[in-house]
Structure 1
């Protein structure tokens, strides 16, 4: 394997944390992946990855070299695309990351529409309520919901979603319906950690300190717990649209509706001119602007509200 391909394999192993997974993604055998990284280490005279029977981790020198390898590979790929004149044709693999529920409901349709139009395009859709590390995990576009931390990534506002407070009819049959924000302190609260601070819920004009009875790491789990009658939860509107229509959950404190939460697409500056990323952003804007979502779970297109 030549030097460039060995670098690509090193990047793949570092991003996946596994020789076997890197080999699967690159459609090569694990032995080829292992030899390629070993050859690169021999060439450089340093250990790039620390290997145990259970894990593969970057060494300090490996972490520094990974950033350089990523930049070199991206520059070479951009140069090849420019030479071929690939300004509009979509090809190769695009990696998209998104939250689980939002990704299934609203990012998957965007990806499917792109793939139907471009036979040479393949997509790896990573759905997780954990924010993917864009550069380290080789993500081309990451869809995020909520305020964004300062970073070197480019952010494009796609739209916004509402926040709602809900409980099941069963819970409300045995507990007084909260009429004021202060009433929440007397209720059993279920918190989805991915939606913000676990000790504070922000509403239109104020923030309320809360003491959760149950804290979970996924929206699906918080919603399921609320449907069983365990307590009240705060979630994003699209996540409970179907449950509200079916009567399993009831909205509360609607007059104090929390502020809209931004939906953004993030990508590295080096991806600015790639056809795949540009096409994804265009398709996403079209999807939301067309009013693809309605009712309680409405997603508003940026600039169209």
Structure 2
């Protein structure tokens, strides 16, 4: 497929993105970055973790996205007493037939909203690992495939909030993106006040895209060209998180462990999706830089020295991005 043909197919196939953004904009004010990252997750078939203090429309954004796509949806409110069977299902004994039969849980849906995921204990977090990575669930001695597409869109409050649990590193690595949700601007907050400060605010969205449209777009995302120089730039960024002193001596003792090869793969994949959203058939270094924080902020383990100095992962990534030469 020539570059011109791919460009035309991208333009024809990406129309649903604008329709979904418009529909989400009916209930969501601002948060353009959040909406873009949710769509990147959909295009890459990857799970997304949203982190921010309560009241920043994290849950509303995910519900608005699910309403904009003609796909099945389930919402879990994670609590300390939640059990794995509440999500996955269980085996139920049938006395008439003297046998066990599976009762599949609500996780067998296309889009899963795991609300306040860090309020559930470790046993529940571990139960999600197989579903998130293998897209299957094992009940008894049988394995059941999850529907396609299957995405976990999770929200969490900062760890220092009361009643939260630290997510396991293995589970964090399963999330394609970790998006930090910030406060709205003054103008956006005034719009929120005008739109939502009444007894009947708008929370529902209408379907603006189908799973078939999303699947067709995913195939095109895989075709987007990455120049060898950009590929090398991606690898150099990842290697800089493992050997930070080679790019900046002041980072020598701030990183305990860098990103894994899964981070390399996901950075390239999300850069392709970012190019697709912007209507391009090729990846630029700016696509990589735009996605770097969301792909890598949960894949870098800070040292005790960094935590003592109140240095954040985003600050370290800023310094790495400023030091690694751009092709």
Q: TM-score, normalised by structure 1?
A: 0.25
* RCO higher in structure (CA 8 A, sep ≥6): 2
User: Hey, which of these two has a bigger chunk of strand by percent?
Assistant: 1
